[in-house]
Amino acid sequence: MPTREDAWPEGTPCWVDSQVDDTARARRFYADMFGWEITDMPQEAGGYLIALRNGRPAAGIGPKPAGMPMPSVWTTYIAADDADAVAARVGAAGGTVVMPPFDVLDVGRMFIAADPTGGVFGVWQAKAHRGAGVYNEHGAYCWNELHTGDYRRAQEFYASVFGWKYDEIGDGENFVYSTFGASGNDHPLGGINDVTKMPGDNGSYWLAWFQVDNADTALTRAAELGATVVSGPGDSPFGRQGVVRGPQGEMFALIDPATTVGEPPTGQSS
């Protein structure tokens, strides 16, 4: 079971949470879906819930911000050593700080931003809450990717803000996709997908992927619990997978990385 005790390095997707209209309904759905033990934060946290796997934080569930109309979503948070400094870089690189940096009790400092292509993400400066304490196992997040309609602009933005380097793994025509990582780190941290090459996909958004032991079983169970299977199950060199719209409209993806078909493409660094 991959676990982490310390704060995640800057530029690493470090946490995911879902903003929904009905947190009690989401609590029931995800507890059954992933086997999470979901606990309440203190009252001053505004109804925020922490999902645990084997006693370690895996994800969060919270109500939508008051007075801010928005769809139900899963949000990817990227680690920062200094949230205010990263917020300044977001603006300088052409992004928008949607919710300026603020302290969350004693657990961290955060802000919400949109990249120039419209992809919304969070930034988390860890204090008492380090981010995900478990990952890359059944019921935990394992991958985060940006779907964007302006692929090169998105790459430029995140490279400027977080120093990401890219490996192009698509064919450059029908499938345009890159993995990203920190400078000097060969381990990919996530991906960027050009949705103009993907019929039926549109807009710019971050998609959170959760690992499961059996994609077919997990997708069937999601549908039984009131979710909608948007795609899949389908095979890939990275695992058997599918995309789900949760009962309140929030999108997420499932993958069984132990069941693969084909050879992964090789990348070219940029």
pLDDT score at 262:
87
Residue of 101, 111, 3 lying closest to 52 (CA atoms): 3
Rg of the chain over all Cα atoms, to the nearest angstrom = 18
Burial class (CB in 10 A: 0-12, 13-18, 19+), 25: middle
Q: At what angle do helices 151-162 and 83-92 cross, to 10 degrees?
A: 140
Determine if the pTM surpasses 0.85: yes
> What's residue 185's pLDDT?
61
What's the confidence (pLDDT) of residue 268? 62
Residue-level pLDDT, tens digit, the chain, 270 residues: 688 989 999 999 999 999 999 999 999 999 999 999 999 988 887 899 999 999 999 999 999 988 888 999 999 999 999 999 999 999 999 999 999 999 999 999 999 999 999 999 999 999 999 999 999 999 999 999 999 999 999 999 999 999 999 999 988 888 999 999 976 566 899 999 999 988 878 889 999 999 999 999 999 999 999 999 999 999 999 999 999 999 999 999 999 999 999 887 766 665
Distances (CA, A) of 16 to 19, 175, 235: 10, 26, 25
Neighbour count for residue 186 (Cβ, 10 Å): 9
pLDDT of residue 199: 80
Judge contact between 203 and 192, C-beta under 8 A: no
